[in-house]
Amino acid sequence: MRQHFRKTPVDVFGHLHVIGKAVKNGVLLTTQWNDRANSMTISWGQVGIEWNRPIFTVYVRGSRYTHEMLLHNGEFTINISPERNVKRILDFCGTRSGRDTDKISELGLTLVEGEKVSVPGIAELPITLECRVIYRQMQDWEAIPDYILEKFYPSLLSGNSPLPVRDIHTMFYGEVVDAYVIESEE
């Protein structure tokens, strides 16, 4: 039997305390391309205003499958659980590549069709921000202080990386075009 959901609108800026705390602990960034959804765990991101628009900025390494997907389909959802019961989901999505694993199927996650983007939300992480990429830029690794490079990009300093820029993050500015909480109607 197909499950039915309702979506209760959320004011992103009225829920910054929930969103900010969740991002620090980990949320899912979901993308979709060629009818395949993929989620990865992120703990870097922020909500703000750019060009008078609500923006959720995410940072994705160039070597990640999600990066490739975002370049093909410039839409994503941020999937947040206000509770701490999603550690297993976050751990799984943060340690496997979508190139090799269908994380959604393996975890048995429930996809819920997006309202304004082609990317679904996830019922198990019900706070959903639908985003459309309006700008992207690779970080300039030469402008990053050495103590940050040492911690997050050690291969750049050691010279051991054959393609060092693939390890750098790209900033994707996602205009928040819809925000809601997914709730089961049953």
Using one digit for the tens of pLDDT, what is the confidence trace for 76-85? 999 999 876 7
pLDDT given for residue 157 in this prediction: 67
Domain total in the chain:
1
Classify 82 as helix, strand or coil. Answer: coil
* Mean pLDDT calculated for residue range 172-177: 98
Q: Identify the band that residue 150 occupies on the pLDDT scale cut at 50, 70 and 90.
A: confident
CATH value at residue 158: 2.30.110.10
Q: Which domain holds residue 137?
A: 5-184
**CB of 112 closer than 8 Å to CB of 122:** yes
User: Residue 134: CB partners within 8 Å, gap ≥ 6?
Assistant: 51, 53, 55, 173, 174, 175
pLDDT over 70 percentage in the chain: 92
